[in-house]
Amino acid sequence: MDKYVITIARQYGSGGKTIGEMLSKKLGVEYYNKDLILKASEESGINVSLFANADEKNKGLFSFFKKKKYGGEVLSPSDPNFTSEENLFNYQAKIIKELAEKESCIIIGRAADYILRDRNDVLSVFVHAPHDFLMEQAAKKHSMPEKELEKYIAKIDKERADYYKRHTGREWTDARNYDLCLDSSKLGFERCVDEIIAYMNVRFK
């Protein structure tokens, strides 16, 4: 296949981001993570801080009950809900769709697997790992007591799960949402990259 997109959802500490970066270098394609926020801001004219504040987060219990599954439309600046969480998501989804249309790339998180679910050139991956491995990897980035680190990991993953559920209506950790689920603690990051490429060679043959 001439063009493809790999989406990577990941538990915090599983190394999904690192795997995406390694995969990008090995395949020679672009890698998109937080730069999607900047692109969405430039496209919409909405301040980048609003996108950053809502990035893979569900802002409180009240907003969760107001969830509206992604439908693809974006609102105009004259609409009173122009800067709503739904519209911020929709602008970011618009950027993701435009990238998928024009180039091969790696996209990290942000429900990209769901946004691109109807495309035949997309391979969706979920990277996960056991608790101890997540703790070990997270401790390399954050210097905090074990209990605090445990709570931090749980908080990030809950935010990602709630964000995903709000905008897709699906469970973030449900294996049925993805083409490939990888336990990075058993394979290591390099082998995860190799497994994704091997799957691509079969899927896009």
- Give me the percent of the chain exceeding a pLDDT of 70: 90
Phi, psi of 46 (to 5 degrees): -80, 140
List, in sequence order, every beta strand (DSSP E) within the chain.
Answer: 5-10, 30-32, 105-108, 122-128, 180-183
pLDDT value at position 78?
72
Q: For residues 47-75, give the mean pLDDT.
A: 65
pTM, rounded to two decimals? 0.89
pLDDT value at position 198?
97
Say how far apart CA 8 and CA 79 lie, in whole Å. Answer: 33
Alpha carbon separation from 47 to 43, 55, 91, 96, 149 (Å, rounded): 11, 13, 12, 18, 31
- In this prediction, residue 58 has a pLDDT band, given cuts at 50, 70 and 90, of low
Q: For residues 135-157, give the mean pLDDT.
A: 94
Helix, coil or strand: residue 8: strand
What CATH architecture is 5-203?
A: 3-Layer(aba) Sandwich (3.40)
> What is the H or E stretch that residue 15 is in?
none
More confident residue, 71 or 47: 47
Going by C-beta distance under 8 Å and a sequence separation of 6 or more, which residues neighbour residue 60?
Answer: none
pLDDT value at position 43?
79
pLDDT value at position 83?
74
Whether the per-residue pLDDT at 75 is higher than 80: the answer is no
